[in-house]
Structure 1
């Protein structure tokens, strides 16, 4: 199923100096099918479900520090997703249980940090943040895994 994630503003990267007002990203399966102005994407993908988010839509982040404390590895990984991150650094996912929880949730375990960007055909890892920087929604490998109510 095609889903269009739309927001007040789209940033292809967090250092992007040219955001798209009323921008959106089309997700097909676990990949980005297209991105750009919502009106154009709705014309190109007329049958797609549209999820509208207030705030800024951009690439999901990499959690660079220790994972948040929680009773179980699964809850620690979920806490990262709630922050708008879909990747953690290997040095902080240092137990077999944490790595297994990350794998079950499609959270990447990376050897080092790297820039995050939205590009066509890439894995659909997205996050939406409000004006205070709080995560509203996280999409990990095409799945909506967190949304603030």
Structure 2
């Protein structure tokens, strides 16, 4: 994931004055990347929090479309979302002609959460059918850790036994 940002230190979230960075947000592929969705969401929330824009995605403040500064910040966050997902996910998320950033955020969360149960079944099958084969202990252990982390990301914890 590329998480670098060109920072502009003169941006004020309170007033909207200054310039927001044009950030290289990580691109989230289509449904095959559901395991990465929690990681991407954490990064995106952190990015918005860094610039005082988290209320645009978490719904903690009502939309103020008549406020020019709020609207400019809303457009930045929407731009970050549009740059993070491919057209397939965006087409599914865009259920109106002019959604708010919060609407997009909720719709994208819904897309990835809706696929959670079927994805868990496939991941559990992969996990339980793992064989050591010719791989080294280190490689096998790394595959095991990756599968456990992927299952954890879709809400299924693997207990030590």
Query: Which TM-score band (shorter chain)?
Result: under 0.3
Greater share of helix: 2
Q: TM-score, normalised by structure 2?
A: 0.22
Q: Which has the higher strand share?
A: 1
Larger C-alpha radius of gyration, 1 or 2? 2
TM-score between the two structures when normalised by the length of structure 1 = 0.23
